[in-house]
Structure 1
Amino acid sequence: MIKATYPLIDTKDFVEISIGQPERDPKSSHEDRRCACKISGPTYEKIFYAHGIDEIQCVWIGLRQIRVEIAEFEKKTNMKCEYRYFQDFEE
C-alpha cells in the first residue's frame, strides 16, 4: 500500500491517503483490475475501490477520485488540506 499524509491548514492534524496494490476485480468477467483507496482525517474516513481495465487505469482513477474525496472532506469538516500536488493535465 502506498501512503501519504498532507497537513490541514491552521491545525496540527493531517489527512492520510492510501492506495492499495491493484488486484483482479473478483466481480469482473474479464481481467479488469481494482485498487483499494482510503482517505482519513480527524473524525472522517472513507474507503472505496477504483476500477479500471488494467493496473495503471485503476490507480489513475483512484488518484482522481481522491481529489474529489478531499474536496468532500473539506466541505464536510470546514478544514482545508494542503493537497495540491496532483493537477489535471487535461485542463
Structure 2
Amino acid sequence: MARTKTFARHASQHAKLNEAAAAKRAALPSFGRGLVAVKSVGGVKRPCRYAPGVVALREIRQYQSSTELLMNPTLFQRMVKNIAQGFKPDVRF
C-alpha cells in the first residue's frame, strides 16, 4: 500500500487537541474500574467503595475455583429427600 503524505502540525495546535481530549475523557464515566471515589464527610476519610457487581464477580470466581462444599452433606440429602417427596411420595432412597 502506498504511503500518503501527512502535514506537520504546529505544537500549539497539538497541545490544544490533547487538552480537549483529556477534558472530554475526564467528563465521561469510567467503566471497568473497580474502585469508586467517595467524598469525605466532615474531615473523616471514608473507605473507597467498589463499583456495583465487582465484589459479586469476585465471590463467583472464588466459589468456582474452590472445591469445598457450600452445604453440609446430611442437610443437603435431607433437603433433596424432602423435595422429592413433594413431587412423588413413593420415591425410595
TMscore range, shorter length: under 0.3
Q: If each structure's strand is expressed as a fraction of its own residues, which one has the higher value?
A: 1
Query: So what's the TM-score if we normalise by structure 2?
Result: 0.26
Q: Which has more radius of gyration?
A: 2
Q: Comparing both chains, which one has the higher relative contact order based on Cα–Cα distances under 8 Å and sequence gaps of 6 or more? A: 1
